[in-house]
Structure 1
């Protein structure tokens, strides 16, 4: 592992774009509870100045486990829309002295919860696999109560002559039948003109689908009504379901993509995201991210 001053702890270091991160180390959370791993990792822990845990798969025991071996600032970053289990985890984390600060990716939800906000993030170093474009819209997701809604939209899309590729898994987890690696998922994404994003009930924060759209210049069709408040929003690139007539969708998908300002792309890149935990400035979010309200 290349030694950096920043460490990201995820449930699985091989998921999503994590292997492409160039400016921080990434490990799997389960390794921290492995005695043999920890015996060889203790010395390295002393070198970190910042350690960020992602909420998925996190247990407060992970933070208390490493605290004796590091002077690093330890952050818990909620990267998911809050459900009951997240509220329970937040209470435990707030009571755990090994955790120095808590942040949430959704600026609106963070304000409701009374915790700090940092944007979600992506990696400009993540390669997009080559693929021939064969469909208009790709939707790849776990069900999470969205399948019926997705099926209804697919019927409406196909009536408009829009070809679709929907890949919906019944549950979350990379051990289920049919699970795609992130590279396989991105290949399917690149095989369509646009990406369909359907949020879970109550969610308003931007998802990976949004970042795949702006980092890879792909059209986005979404039901996230809050997205129009983001600086990167452009009606030429983002079709807001429920706000626009579906009959406009074929022309939207066939029109040119307008490249997002590079400064905004850089704001969401992991290198700059991680620095915001060190030099926290709430003012930057209204400049580059969400302009509807101020972050806490």
Structure 2
């Protein structure tokens, strides 16, 4: 069994690091998916007042059970679910020698409480999955991982069934992309001569006058998503205009050995990019799409895939 560098450390992971439950086999890794306690009624109202700077004292009373572990670890990793400087200040006060890492899996901050510029003077490392944000805020870039990317055998087993229900599969929330997504679906079907299945999740609190038949009202279980991926030749990755970081879709394609169709311009910067596997909407000829899908997938080298395994991703912070 591979020996990891993080095994010589005690690591506390706060927030939503998907798939980190697989690391619970290591007794030195402590995972807490929620940073703040669940609050209700008056208690929640008081917390909101404090969060917005009114009576902003003793915020630690709202923290989860993880705060009891602070003095027992040497490294704390925090997801961008962080909602204020108080978390880092509290950790540093309780354990001044601990290494604190904040990882951003969000491209759009809108001057919110988790914007990187608000933490740069604190004793912590700021890391992001978004290359443009890394340049803008002068912080470290590190791509994310894919929780299901565990072994080569898993990926091969996932593609044993060559009975395809559709050529192209898309799943994702509307987020203002509905019209563009439906436009591309029509292009794929008419010009690309492809069959498609699109599952577009309604944006909360948005009323839809049309296209209701193309929308789903609630997320579907992720195991169902994987089932659809297995039954498709390709996955559509349709990034939002302000996004410059890698989403799950390209990593799903790599894991399950599926072709990828994408509008993500920076895809060529990643070491798994292969024009025989990845069709760029802004670059490739739509008339070639059908033949692109019919060509065999070229497996990504194991050494590259390994970078997107959760344990290896965590280990990279200690190299």
User: Normalising by the residue count of structure 2, what TM-score does the alignment of the two structures yield?
Assistant: 0.73
In structure 1, distance between residues paired with 2:144 and 2:30: 18
Match of 2:78 in 1: 53
CA deviations over 1:194-242 (Å, ceiling 9, x no partner): 1100110132222111111112211110011111122211011111112
Kindly report which structure 2 residues correspond to 1:55-204, keeping only aligned pairs within 5 A, or say none.
Answer: 55-56=80-81, 58-70=83-95, 71-85=97-111, 89-95=115-121, 97=122, 99-123=123-147, 124-125=149-150, 133-159=164-190, 160-171=192-203, 177-204=217-244
Q: How has the CA–CA distance of structure 1 residues 112 and 172 changed in structure 2, closer, same or farther, with 3 Å as cutoff?
A: farther
TM-score, normalised to structure 1's length?
Answer: 0.78
Do 1:51 and 1:73's aligned partners in 2 also have CA atoms closer than 8 Å?
Answer: yes
CA drift at 1:149 = 1.0
**Alignment CA distance shift 1:41-1:53 (3 Å):** closer
Name 2:6's counterpart in structure 1: none
Structure 1 unaligned segments of length 5 or more: list them: 280-296
Cα 1:258/1:45, change in 2 over 3 Å:
same
**Coordinate RMSD, CA, aligned:** 3.2
- Match of 2:19? 17
TM-superposed deviation, 1:150: 0.6
Q: Which runs of 4+ in 1 moved over 6 A?
A: 33-39, 126-131
* Contact 1:33–1:62, Cα closer than 8 Å, also in 2: no
Contact kept, 8 Å, 2:276 with 2:292, in 1: the verdict is: yes
Q: How many residues align?
A: 270
| 3-state DSSP of counterpart to 1:8 | strand
The answer for the alignment partner of 2:53 in structure 1 is: none
Structure 2 distance, partners of 1:40, 1:206, is 32
| Gapped regions of structure 2 (runs ≥ 5) | 1-8, 40-59, 206-215
Q: Deviations over 1:58-91 (max 9, x none)?
A: 4433334444444431111111223424586223
